[in-house]
Amino acid sequence: MKIKLSDKKLKDIKGDCEIIFVVSKNLEHKLVCDEKVLNEMNFKVEADEVLLLPEKKRMYVGIDDLEPESLRCAAALAMRTIAKSKITVLKIALYFTNDAEKGIKAMSEGFLLGAYNYQKYKSKPAKNNIKQIIISSENYYNKKIEIKNLAKKIKEAEIISRSVNFVRDIVNEPPSDLTPLKFSEIAKKEAKENNLTIKILGKKELEKLGMGAFLAVNRASIYPPQLIHLKYKPKNAKKKIVLVGKGLTYDTGGLSLKLGDGMLTMKMDMGGAGAILGVIMAISQLKLPVEVQAIIGATENAIGKDAYKPDDVLKAMNGKTIEVKNTDAEGRLVLADCLCYAQKEKFDYIVDIATLTGASMVALGEYTSAVMGFNQDLSYEILKSAKKSGELAGILPFNKYLPKLLKSDIADISNISASRYGGAITAGLFLGEFIENKNKQKWAHIDIAGPAFKDKSWGVNPVGASGAGVRLLVEWVRGVL
């Protein structure tokens, strides 16, 4: 599906259907041609309200305002509504409040993200017949628009949306097909296509590095662990950023076995790793002047005769010992070693992203990522980037009392808290124990357990994987330059 910009007026553009966003209760706007019909059909002119008039070749979508996120969601709703029709070419005016570039980028992302539908394993996959969307420079406010920079914004939207949809694809993959080895093969392919360098460390290399926590989680799996290290290094790099992602391709909970319902959707436990792969791909294609390193810890948390056990004591790469009190708190063990590995070189920022805790959903709800760290300013910058990108995020604050709950009597630290409360924060504090003192102000942790995977569509996101974290981190990387 292609998005094209035209300097023609809407009436002069050939298309199978025109999409019209109706703001608030403004049925009298010049773009609304069917006020009488809309009233007869009791069209309420509210967000998420949509009415297709096939005989008129028009579709009306209610929208609260013309801010970027509203435009994104309205465009996604329009696409989901019309995707199963035989319509192939859509046309629409340019909608924006103050910034036409932001408006066209948001609309384009909405169309491209809203068109996503995972059909790989359907014997008769549904087809999206939309081939082209034409955006006219004729606009809601009838302002004269310079369109030379708008095409660039459409291109950016295409790159970012393609990366988000790529992540959705790999997170939606069944765990028997997306194994740690398959994940590394995908990373190799994308590295080649995106001019990235890649290094993959297997079990022997991890043993030499002393990654006892990562290796313990992997022990019961029939698939060897894979530490995937990708680099994007432009000549004119102004900053160096390290991204670390949790790549549990499947999580049974280990010997602290999840209940049956809790095991469903655990293919999404590599959502953080998928996100940083998508981010480095997008940054390479956008040619941003920043060096990015993406480090993925890929493994399964399985059960078997060699499974690691509650009461085991593990030694991480930095020499710190960990008492295992729950084998279902495995992602933080993998990340602990990956964070140690990631700090071997100097950098400006290090951010890890993971589907880490159900507790983050208790704190912030199921659509919102949790941001944590020792540097409050950095957390707020990530929060602002989330809002700008259209993702939802909230900050969970550290305090001096919670680390005491991770105390162990026989090791340096326990892998779970002694309290059921504040579980997302204590998980973040656990990771903070593996950040060197000199790097603590450079580090942030993002828990995407809430928005990474849902059984219903929401906003620009489909049923299943959302690609959470990609838009947020691309926007944040832009902001640090």
Residues 6+ apart with CB under 8 A from 344: none
Quote the strand ranges of 268-348, DSSP E.
291-301, 313-315, 321-323
Catalytic annotation present for 25: no
What does the alpha-carbon distance between residue 411 and residue 409 come to, in Å, rounded to a whole number? 6
**Strands, sheet with 132-139, edge to edge from the N-terminal-most edge strand:** 2-6, 132-139, 89-94, 17-23, 58-63, 50-53
**How is residue 201 written in tokens?**
């460390």
**What is the β-pairing status of strands 58-63 and 50-53?**
antiparallel
| Under 8 Å between Cβ of 83 and 133 | no
Closest CA to 218 of 256, 250, 259: 250
Closest CA to 335 of 383, 385, 301: 301
For 172-195, the DSSP string reads HS-TTTS-HHHHHHHHHHHHHHTT
Encoded amino acid at 29, one letter: H
Q: Using the 8-state DSSP alphabet, how is residue 397 labeled?
A: -
| Under 8 Å between Cβ of 413 and 320 | yes
Closest CA to 324 of 338, 307, 340, 341: 307
Closest CA to 321 of 254, 218, 415: 415
| Under 8 Å between Cβ of 341 and 293 | no
Chain length of the chain: 481
**Annotated active-site residue in 58, 267, 332, 454:** 332
**How is residue 49 written in tokens?**
């309200």
Q: Looking only at Cα atoms, what is the longest distance across the chain?
A: 76
Closest CA to 158 of 3, 324, 43: 3
Our CA angle for 80, 81, 85, nearest 5°, is: 105
Residue where the block lists tokens 């004591």: 313
- Chain centroid offset of residue 391 CA: 8
Q: Using the 8-state DSSP alphabet, how is residue 257 labeled?
A: P
Catalytic annotation present for 258: yes
What does the alpha-carbon distance between residue 464 and residue 298 come to, in Å, rounded to a whole number? 21
Residues 6+ apart with CB under 8 A from 60: 20, 21, 22, 32, 34, 38, 43, 50, 51, 53
| Under 8 Å between Cβ of 226 and 181 | yes
**Annotated active-site residue in 258, 315, 320, 478:** 258
Q: Which positions are annotated as active-site residues?
A: 258, 332
